[in-house]
Structure 1
């Protein structure tokens, strides 16, 4: 995709606002949130609360994905052509 084709596609106002707010969040927060969810999950598993442990343990992947999104927004930004 060349620059002229890419410049035809602009972010909408909602996506732009989300990216502006997301870029303010420290990237470390998502890593710590993922690690915390794994720790809480382990604790719940040790306490015999299997279903709650599985539920909380599944939060790690979305936190890490949000961290990747956060990093992309910080490095690439929105509408670089502007």
Structure 2
């Protein structure tokens, strides 16, 4: 009995190029392009550092007994990390 071979396995090794955006509803406006160009200038580690700072400030506020501001500032960490990931994707893949 021979080995099972997937005929599509060789096709998956070929490089895949994404098709260009041709529909108008998928194109980005000039404001989005401007935002991406400006945020691409910010280093990605700035977002990571800002999220760590928000966690540290939140911890400090929590330890000092200010629970509501601590929770408010502590919720900034996740959006800052998401912005960092988006920034890295824009730099890596470029605007589409």
For this structure pair, what is the TM-score category when the shorter chain's length is used for normalisation? 0.7 to 0.9
Relative contact order (C-alpha < 8 Å, sep 6+): which is higher? 1
Gaps of 5+ in 1: none
* TM-score between the two structures when normalised by the length of structure 1: 0.87
Task: Extract structure 1 runs of 4+ deviating beyond 6 A.
Answer: none
More helix by share: 1
Shift of 1:11: 1.9
How many residues align? The count is: 76
Gaps of 5+ in 2: 1-17
* TM-score between the two structures when normalised by the length of structure 2: 0.75
Partner of 1:74: 91
Partner of 2:36: 19
Larger radius of gyration: 2
Shift of 1:12: 1.1
